[in-house]
Chains A and B, each alone.
Chain A
């Protein structure tokens, strides 16, 4: 205690100065937070209003809180339960696929020695630079010829491998000490067993980050899904909502209730795994 006060004594003027400065900074940060949040608040408020009230902007809060809008949205916005289930199924399959293929490939690139390994890795890195737009039309034609239009395969199979995930996992796998591996080999452990029993449990952060970004990309994807789904019941949620906007007699309070429902899984995931989201972005800087 005593030795910290050796510095120049803090006067009450100093304290006031820094206090006003700090209050100002908190005030500005709070304004920024409100700017980020107000559209969501407006979404929820509108989603709870009646039809006429929703279009009369003068009332901010609903006079009657119509939670039944959510049931109506679930039942009337296109095939909403189906969209929801489709998207969840597609996203989970994609994540499982990406994690499996990427873990295997990343392990081989990090820990195994075979001819052409580094050249193949460079090819892989090069594919990361190819913008999605170039492969869009060839893939659409391929998927059409495979008769995968209106089939989950079109929405899952092309996305179950990711050069980015392989890259991310390889970096992580390389940081696992070689001694662990040597010890395992001497004990007669095979590569696959070593991978499954030691590498995978140790790599949880990298696996979560890569799974998370895959889930998000899948849940939010739009352009590809528009191309490969025609039947309404095959649509993922984003396409379903986008299509519903254009339909006649769309009621905004129901539409926004549907949006709220569609946003909930992602927000929940974000709240639980927030650290991985933000640190993942901060370290690799990818942008969707």
Chain B
């Protein structure tokens, strides 16, 4: 009722008012509306970027910085630690991403089947690990991986296998396997440490629900006519999945890959908590779980190397930025089917 009254009033006035050429009316108060947000964002999220560049070129204690040029960058790029952290980061990404994506797509596809009832319930359960705080769930998983009383070793014993040291095991999984088999392998083949693998198992558990939700959204966007047409042509089951679902999901998959790599580059909370819960130093055992962000934080918090830590943060950001831009460009062009 009030709506129609308003409409009538507008109509009435439209007739009365001369239709003046619509002139641009500048609303200066707009600046006032954006002011609070801009003050905060400029102070804490924009200007600090420039300050970060400044800090990365200096050394010494806070407020007593001494100019040191590109020393920190040279130290990072010329030394082993930075590269080791980068390799660890990509090993971690390689241990988690294929599994979360495969499981995510698998469960999303099952949930997507039209006959499935309680889809919402399943989706809600799958997504729960992603919602719960990482510190909390990392504590739970550190307890599951406890060498003496953990569920993981209980399971191994139940299958008649040797218990493992999980989060405190610095040896590579390749090395452990070889030792078990009685082989000797070169050091480069020892692979990621068991501790990193344990952390990756946690990540797969945590991120699976996220991938399911994203894939499910992608699947719902595929026009059902395509499936119908293919069915009329006699396609079914695997053929439908392989030739319709997979190619049409390519943009979604690409998005998930980029987001996962960025997530690996920024991974911190669970590594910090699980290292701590297993009584290891940050990035331990023997630095085998020190991803780039963990390394950055260690340099900042444990060693108070502000300049060097900032230089690492900037290098890390450049890598992330490259992935983000790649994502934008690629998605902007759309994936070819």
Contact = CB atoms under 8 A, between A and B. Distances in A.
A191 B272 contact: no
B273 interface: yes
Contact of A186 (B9, B45, B120, B217): B9
A134 B210 CA distance: 26
A112 B29 contact: yes
B310 interface: yes
A33 B268 contact: no
Interface stretch (A7-15, A67-75, A200-208, A220-228): A220-228
Of the four ranges (under 10, 10 to 19, 20 to 34, 35 or more), the interface on chain A belongs to 35 or more
A3 B80 CA distance: 73
Nearest to B143: A252
Given A120-B38, A141-B55, A267 B10 contact: no
A170 B209 CA distance: 28
A108 B34 contact: yes
Interface in B294-337: 296-297, 300-301, 306, 309-310, 313-314, 316-317, 320-321, 324
Interface in A126-161: 127, 129-139, 141-142, 144-145, 157-161
Contacts of A56: 149
Interface string B1-32: 00000110110010000000000111111110
Contact of A263 (B133, B143, B306, B310): B133
Nearest to B316: A133
Interface residues of B, number: 103
Nearest to B278: A245
A108 B131 CA distance: 32
A101 B296 contact: no
B149 A40 contact: no
A183 interface: yes
B263 interface: yes
B77 interface: no
Contacts of A287: 210, 259, 262-263
B320 A145 contact: no
Nearest to A238: B135
A100 interface: yes
A135 B273 contact: no
A134 B277 CA distance: 27
Interface of B: 6-7, 9-10, 13, 24-31, 33-34, 36-41, 43-46, 48-49, 51-52, 55, 62-63, 103, 107, 110-111, 113, 115-116, 120, 122-129, 131-137, 139-144, 146, 148-151, 153-154, 205, 208-210, 213-214, 216-217, 255, 259, 262-263, 266, 268-269, 272-273, 276-277, 279, 293, 296-297, 300-301, 306, 309-310, 313-314, 316-317, 320-321, 324
What are the 10 A-B residue pairs with the smallest beta carbon separation, nearest first? A161-B40, A108-B33, A138-B48, A114-B30, A282-B217, A112-B30, A105-B37, A138-B51, A158-B44, A135-B48
